[in-house]
Structure 1
Amino acid sequence: MPALDTKAILEGRRPGRHSVGLTVGIVISVLCMLLMLGYLLLGGVTGSGTAGVLGFVISFVAAIVPVSILIPLILLLDRLEPEPGSMLLFAFLWGAGVAVLVSIVLNTLGMEVYAIPTFGADWGSYVSAAVGAPLVEESSKGIALLILLFRHRHEIDSYTDGVIYAAMVATGFAFIENISYFLQSLADQGFAGLAFTFVLRGVISPFGHPIYTAMIGIGVAHAAINRGGSRFLAPVAGWFAAVLLHALWNGSTIFGYYGLGVAYVALFFVLVAIIIIAVQDRRRQVAAIAYYLPPYVATGLVAPADIQMLSSIGGRRRAREWARRNAGSRGRRAMQDYQLAATELALLHQRLDRGVARPQWWHRRDSFLALMHVAREAFAGRAAQPLHPSWAPQSTDSGFLNRADFAHVIERAQQQRQTE
């Protein structure tokens, strides 16, 4: 019997294959990012190579600092149902590659061709930053979210998912943009200028871009998880909100520190609202687990204590630690697979009840059940009688299905995935 392709089941793709579209998107994004890095290294921002290779390296390292803080914080929002690493990578690279490249070309054209000839050098630069840049940059970042909506809608289960993908795109964008700002400051004002810009962009306002683009993510998520006419308007409304927040921050510079303070407070309240949305989404996910998994108790794949374990981060962590003690690293991985498959199963039922799941998604249920069975068989093991927690089978004759009893579901899951 062929082994189950765990990642394929959890990501909703064919076993042994990767998404061609996602792979192409990653490759194109990497090429665009390398092009941008080469442009910055050769002095494309400063107008000459005055910053030098050392300046580029310093700016590059400085730009990594906020990224290394932001990404873990972003991923903390959705620990019950983590998003696939390949899609998160695509989102980040799109922001760091395609979105930045498109933005620098269009922003430069807009400023040189329209803003400066129309408003003069000083006001033209301000109009370009306060109006043109938000329009261009949020559009270029938002395209990635539309791609995910149309190509990987099944992975967007909540508003938090939309926020996570949007924040990853924006973090990638801010990474390259920060390098350019740091290089410019270093070239113009030396290390003092670099230090000031780093504090402003890396310490005081690192959440700027993620907050703006999160509005588009929320709109895209609404379109993915709801029915009705509002789902067509939600991404557009999210884009408008992103542009307005971005314009508020960029435009506030003309009012000095007072303007920046007002904009900062406004963005802080938006951030609080996003956190509240994430908390509410987690509660809805826990409610889905409690509502949709009990009918599967009769199969032996779910016990009442499992539902309690799956409903908290602490419970999941303790279960993985028990599985590690009972069956080693393989058992820990199996427990993690079980937790993810069970969560995906509950969220699939939730989407089916909402009427937003496509008919062909129904076969994913059997794939999740097959993975849960194989994972449970792996982490339960045969020993460690004193290590049994309340959610583990107490003996081999505890009523849990044997692999032979479940073979037809495993076989059918593989056949359905291979013939799609």
Structure 2
Amino acid sequence: MTTALPEPGTGASPAAPPTLTDVAVERLRVVRESGWGAPVRFVQPRNAAFWVYVALVGFGLSVILRYLSNASVVYGTPITVAVVLFALYGGLFWWFTQHIDRYAHLPRKLLVIAFFWGGFGAIIMASYANSPILSLLGKAFGLSWASDWGAGIAAPIDEELAKGLGLLLLIALASRAVSTAFDGFILGAFIGLGFQIVEDLTYAVAAAGKGFGADPSGSVLQLVEVRAVFGLGAHIAYSAIFCTGLVLFLGRPGQPRRVGAGLGLMLTAMLLHGVWDNSGGILGPAIGFALVAWVLLTALTLVIVVRVFRRTVGVERAYMRAVLAPEVESGTITAEEAGALAGDGRARRAYRRVAQDRGRRRLVLMAAHDLADELGSANGAESDRVRFARDELARVRSQPV
């Protein structure tokens, strides 16, 4: 049915256009603030950050590939095994990160850019900075002192700063997408992952030649085991903590500036890194005692990472609630479903715990999250993809148990 327009001269005015509800207005604000679904354009010829990224990553990539290529001539099989195993390790970490980044998703392209910076840009910067710093420490305090303590002083400074520079470049390349401290946490973890995997590959080359190459495969497998066990408490964790602090220090649209907290986290990452690298100087040659200390230090690092995650993820959960609030108001999803989507793992498990309906409830949550992603990509407005996601949610909900 259509509404007739008033006759001219009658004094009647046409009906006012529908106005947005408060929750719909809030959704628009949240989508703009969070950068949810913001596109990422990597090639930006007029952006200096693009050329800095390309130059350093390109140079680092050429150096690392040449190094691995030369080593593979002698240790081809062990190096190939190391590449495959560390690739699987990276894939497992990617899956885990997607599992915890379940709110305002960061674009996958941005995660790949972060990974390549850590693996080739940051590592080449740090490698060229390490030697001069160690040389200066040796001249100032003696070669013996520099041998014991130099790595734990140089690496935390130049490596964390090099990885942090990557986050600054990502902000310059995709300002809208990097909006909260949690974004810094996730991107920092991927920068650290790239750094760690490439660094481990260079260690694998050194391990293959251990004992004059008597058992290259065994030496490489032993290295992979050690680095995989302690890896989550190493560069991945340090970078996640450092980059979270960097975002807090700078401030972003979705993150008020907190200089003290930001500096504290950056220094914490450097301190953890330094203690790890200085373990030889601190603990001496006692291997058994050192192993216990490494386990305890790794556990402490992971505890700090979990605390940082919990302190920063709350903003992302609030964003999810705001984006879904109009859908709850219109009856598209229920308040219980919105609470599960915006909650933690415990809330989602509680929602799915209904035995006779567990499979469908899991699919409903997936479809509702797809709807939230489409709303973010559409800047909180209606679009064909949003309508399709809404219809798909209704279809999944209507399936028989």
Is residue 274 from structure 1 mapped to residue 305 from structure 2 by the alignment? yes
SS of match in other structure, 1:96: helix
Supply the distance in 2 between the matched residues of 1:80 and 1:245 (Cα, whole angstroms). Answer: 29
SS of match in other structure, 2:105: coil
Which of 66, 69, 72 is matched with 2:92 structurally? 69
Is residue 387 from structure 1 mapped to residue 380 from structure 2 by the alignment? no
Matched residue, 1:249: 276
Q: Deviations over 1:10-63 (max 9, x none)?
A: 53249xx656258657644652342132342255xxxx8884444433333343
Supply the distance in 2 between the matched residues of 1:273 and 1:383 (Cα, whole angstroms). Answer: 41
The alpha-carbon deviation at position 292 of structure 1 amounts to 6.6
TM-score (structure 1 length as normaliser): 0.67
Flag the 1:25–1:304 CA change in 2: closer, same or farther, 3 A. farther
Is residue 201 from structure 1 mapped to residue 240 from structure 2 by the alignment? no
Q: Deviations over 1:65-118 (max 9, x none)?
A: 43233332233221223211111011100000111111111113333x424445
Flag the 1:24–1:376 CA change in 2: closer, same or farther, 3 A. farther
Matched residue, 1:239: 266
On the 8 A contact 1:142/1:239 being kept in 2, the answer is no
Is residue 218 from structure 1 mapped to residue 244 from structure 2 by the alignment? yes
SS of match in other structure, 2:102: coil
Is residue 367 from structure 1 mapped to residue 379 from structure 2 by the alignment? yes
Flag the 1:50–1:388 CA change in 2: closer, same or farther, 3 A. closer
On the 8 A contact 2:61/2:120 being kept in 1, the answer is yes
Supply the distance in 2 between the matched residues of 1:339 and 1:149 (Cα, whole angstroms). Answer: 24
The alpha-carbon deviation at position 247 of structure 1 amounts to 0.5
Q: Deviations over 1:352-374 (max 9, x none)?
A: xxxxxxxxxxxx9x732224x64
Flag the 1:90–1:387 CA change in 2: closer, same or farther, 3 A. same
Matched residue, 2:105: 82
Query: Partner letter of residue 379 of structure 2?
Result: S
Query: Partner letter of residue 341 of structure 2?
Result: L
- Write the mapping of 1:182-193 to structure 2, written as runs, cut at 5 A: 182-189=204-211, 190-191=215-216, 192-193=218-219
Query: Partner letter of residue 271 of structure 1?
Result: L
The alpha-carbon deviation at position 163 of structure 1 amounts to 1.6
Supply the distance in 1 between the matched residues of 2:398 and 2:165 (Cα, whole angstroms). Answer: 50
On the 8 A contact 2:208/2:219 being kept in 1, the answer is yes
Query: Partner letter of residue 380 of structure 2?
Result: F
Flag the 1:193–1:124 CA change in 2: closer, same or farther, 3 A. farther
Supply the distance in 2 between the matched residues of 1:341 and 1:140 (Cα, whole angstroms). Answer: 35
Matched residue, 1:94: 117
On the 8 A contact 1:215/1:238 being kept in 2, the answer is yes
- Write the mapping of 1:20-419 to structure 2, written as runs, cut at 5 A: 20=44, 27-28=54-55, 30-41=57-68, 43=70, 51-111=74-134, 113-189=135-211, 190-191=215-216, 192-222=218-248, 223-224=251-252, 225-228=254-257, 230-231=258-259, 234-254=261-281, 255=283, 256-257=286-287, 258-279=289-310, 281-290=312-321, 293-294=324-325, 304=335, 307-308=338-339, 310-311=341-342, 314=348, 318=360, 321=363, 336-342=369-375, 344=376, 367-371=379-383, 374-377=385-388, 379-380=390-391, 387=398
Flag the 1:187–1:74 CA change in 2: closer, same or farther, 3 A. same
Q: Which protein is bigger by CA-based radius of gyration? A: 2
Q: Which runs of 5+ in 2 are unaligned?
A: 1-34, 353-358
TM-score (structure 2 length as normaliser): 0.70
SS of match in other structure, 1:86: helix
Alignment RMSD (CA, Å): 3.9
Query: Partner letter of residue 143 of structure 1?
Result: L
Supply the distance in 2 between the matched residues of 1:337 and 1:196 (Cα, whole angstroms). Answer: 42
SS of match in other structure, 1:11: coil
Supply the distance in 2 between the matched residues of 1:382 and 1:99 (Cα, whole angstroms). Answer: 43
Alignment coverage as a number of residue pairs: 342
SS of match in other structure, 2:256: coil
The alpha-carbon deviation at position 252 of structure 1 amounts to 0.8
Flag the 1:237–1:146 CA change in 2: closer, same or farther, 3 A. farther
Matched residue, 1:410: none
Query: Partner letter of residue 125 of structure 1?
Result: S
SS of match in other structure, 2:264: helix
Supply the distance in 1 between the matched residues of 2:394 and 2:189 (Cα, whole angstroms). Answer: 44
